[in-house]
Every structure is written in C-alpha cells, then in structure tokens.
Amino acid sequence: MADGGELGRTVRANVNGTEVSRYVANRSTLAQFLRDDLGLTGTKVSCELQVCGVCSVLVDGSPVSACTYLAVDIDGRKVETVEGLADGDTLHPLQQAFVEEFALQCGFCTPGFLMMSVALLRRNPDPSEEDVKEYLDGNICRCTGYRPIVEAVQLAATRMREDGHV
C-alpha cells in the first residue's frame, strides 16, 4: 500500500498527453508543480481558497482547484491544462469562440474559464444559459463581464455538436 515516512514521492502522470515522472514534495500543490516544475504557466494562482477558479484544471476529467490539491495526488492519473487544448496552431473551439466573442480582456481568468467549460461541455454538450452560469459560478472575471463568456461557451457548444468535436 503506502509509502509513509517520506516527505515526497515520484509521481507518474499523464499531463496533456505526455507521460511525466517527477519527484515531488507532499506539500507541493498541483498549481506549484505545473507552473514551477513543468513550466506550464497557463494555470494561474490568485485567491488560493478555491473561490476564484483561475487555477482550474482537470484530473481524470474532473475539475479541481489546483491551488488546493496535492501534486502527489495526480500519481497514476491524467491531468489536462489549458496548454493541452489547442491542436498545434488550431485553437480548440472554446478558445476560438472566446476570441470571437471578446470573452477576455487581460486574460488572467481565461485558462480557468476554458478548463471549466471543457468539463461542462463534456457532461452537458447543449447547456442552457442558466446551465453555463451555474457551472461557471465558481470562476471570477474582473474585466470582461460574464455575458460574452456565456455566449462564447454556447457558441463553442453549438459548433462542437455540429462537427462532433470531443
């Protein structure tokens, strides 16, 4: 079972499709690990209280606040961050819709909104305006206002349903 007694462990995880194996301290948050160890700085950190959502990433498809999640807990799991969304130079439909709908200004909140929107559309490919608002309720934007964000998510949903994007 367990390897108690140590202050860290070697984690093996799949991060955005790449197998990663690193020694990480138990006290490291997933946000620290992604940013400082893997250089994936798309994931932001702000409140560190699971309130603002800028650190949202997916672990085995489930949304987590990486600011309050142990990096050692990704061992054996699959992690998705904003860096994994685009396919080369082709933006993910959500990213494309955010650009077209002006759903960002400074962009600090955007990676979190995108990852939560990915999680939402996987469980509900045709969300109503109310569904989007409810699911993204734990993400805060200080620039744009939320209307363009909701519109972008619904635009992306429509396009993804049409072209069978997953």
Partner 1 sequence: MLGTFTVSRPTELGQALDLIGEESLAYWGGTELFLAMKMQLLMPGNLVDLKGIPQLREIRMSGDELVIGAGTTHDEIATDPGVRGAAGLLSSVTSRVGNSRVRAQGTIGGNLCFAEPRSDLATVLLALDAMVQLQSSSGERRLSITEFLLGPYWTAREPEELLVAVCVPIPAATGVYLKFQFTERPSVAVTAVVSDGGQPCRLAIGAVADVPALHTAESWDEFDAASIAAGIEPVPDLTGSVTYKRHLTEVLVKKAIAAVRAGERDG
Ligand X SMILES: Cc1cc2nc3c(=O)[nH]c(=O)nc-3n(C[C@@H](O)[C@@H](O)[C@H](O)COP(=O)(O)OP(=O)(O)OC[C@H]3O[C@@H](n4cnc5c(N)ncnc54)[C@H](O)[C@@H]3O)c2cc1C
**Contact residues: ligand FES, CB under 6 A:** 45-48, 50-55, 65, 67, 104-109, 141-144
Q: Which of 16, 22, 46, 73 binds partner 1 (CB under 8 A)?
A: 73
Helix, strand, coil percent values for the chain (each to nearest 5): 40, 20, 40
Which residue's structure tokens are 């635009």? Answer: 155
Can you tell me the distance from the alpha carbon of 117 to that of 63, in angstroms, rounded to the nearest whole number? 10
Q: Which of positions 45-84 make contact with ligand X (CB under 6 A)?
A: 50-51
Can you tell me the distance from the alpha carbon of 45 to that of 133, in angstroms, rounded to the nearest whole number? 22
Nearer Cβ to partner 1, position 18 or 120?
Answer: 120
Can you tell me the distance from the alpha carbon of 103 to that of 145, in angstroms, rounded to the nearest whole number? 8
**In whole angstroms, how close is the CB of 121 to partner 1 at the nearest point?**
13
Can you tell me the distance from the alpha carbon of 61 to that of 159, in angstroms, rounded to the nearest whole number? 21
* Residue whose Cβ sits closest to ligand X: 50
Cα–Cα separations (whole angstroms), residue 166 to 88, 93, 120, 146: 16, 10, 12, 24
Nearer Cβ to ligand FES, position 67 or 132?
Answer: 67
Nearer Cβ to partner 1, position 20 or 70?
Answer: 70
- Residues in contact with partner 1 by the rule CB under 8 A: 1-7, 9, 25-27, 29, 48-51, 53, 56, 62-65, 68-70, 72-73, 116, 119-120, 135-139
* Interface ranges with ligand X (CB under 6 A): 50-51
